[in-house]
Amino acid sequence: MTDFQPLRVMAGPCAVESLETTIAVAVEIKRVCDKLGLPFHFKASYRKANRTRLDSFTGIGDREALEVLSRVKSDLDVGIVTDIHTPEEAAMAADVADVIQIPAFLCRQTDLLIAAAQTGRIVNVKKGQFMAPDSMKYAVDKIRESGNDDVWLTERGTMHGYGDLVVDMRGLETMRAFAPTFMDLTHSLQQPNQARGVTGGRPQLIGSLARAAVASGVDGVFIETHPEPSQAMSDGANMLPLDQLEGLLTTLASLHEWRHIHA
């Protein structure tokens, strides 16, 4: 039996909306994770670059948002996760971020993966909705061959038809052979490409998906959460209400420990 490692958590709002909201969400997530003894990185995007419509919220400004994340990091002593979209952004994000995240749509972009690797930060690569789990080995190889062994993978669902996603739990074990693997509990329940140009979701299934993933043996979970998902400026349709986080993580921490004992 391997040494027990607590369930890791990456969590936060989809995007930096304001200092007040960002700090409030971070404080609550940290409280819950500290209570449960779960290692935690705070996640928020400083810019959303893959919106469906031109009038969708993309951010408050790169520098302004990174300053908010820097404040969260220093005030709460937590690690930061944020995404980059071009190689040129890697060094700028690495000034604040402990984990550089590669968006799912960009997981095959060699220059982006190399730039992220060269920052020396952990690189979290989200599996493309169009990718087989086996193929994520090559994203991991690109990063390691660029001199960085600190790689994570995150499952976030696979396209099923034109407007839905499914999760193949077999893929979690496949990807864990390449790198520590997280389950994105919120984006995996998106219903993208809706006719009105705004992504939908099925957040009522977060608990079911979470229990299945942890029982399957993931190393951690990725959760987007907000005090009022209906008011969130990005991806509110699939977020977990913040007041439900403690109950969910309590269940998942217990399930993760039970799985280790009975593995």
Whether 118 has a pLDDT exceeding 60, the answer reads yes
The listed range with the strongest mean pLDDT (57-71, 188-202, 247-261) is: 247-261
Concatenated DSSP letters for 13-56?
A: -SB---HHHHHHHHHHHHHHHHHHT--EEEE-BS-----SSTTS
Whether 135 has a pLDDT exceeding 80, the answer reads yes
Phi first, then psi: give them for residue 26, nearest 5 degrees. Answer: -60, -40
- The stretch 7-33 carries a mean pLDDT of 96
pLDDT classification of 2: cutoffs 50, 70, 90: low
In this prediction, residue 78 carries a pLDDT of 98
- Say whether domain 8-262 belongs to CATH 3.30.420.40: no
Tell me the pairing of strands 190-191 and 200-201. Answer: antiparallel
Concatenated DSSP letters for 119-153?
A: TTSEEEEEPPTT--GGGHHHHHHHHHTTT---EEE
- The stretch 220-246 carries a mean pLDDT of 91
Query: Using one digit for the tens of pLDDT, what is the confidence trace for 64-92?
Result: 999 999 999 999 999 999 999 999 999 99
| Contact criterion met (CB below 8 Å) for 97 and 73 | no
Whether 196 has a pLDDT exceeding 70, the answer reads no
In this prediction, residue 243 carries a pLDDT of 97
Whether 52 has a pLDDT exceeding 70, the answer reads no
Map out the domains of the chain as residue ranges: 8-262
User: What is the chain's mean pLDDT, rounded?
Assistant: 92
Strand pairing partners for 92?
none
- The stretch 88-99 carries a mean pLDDT of 97
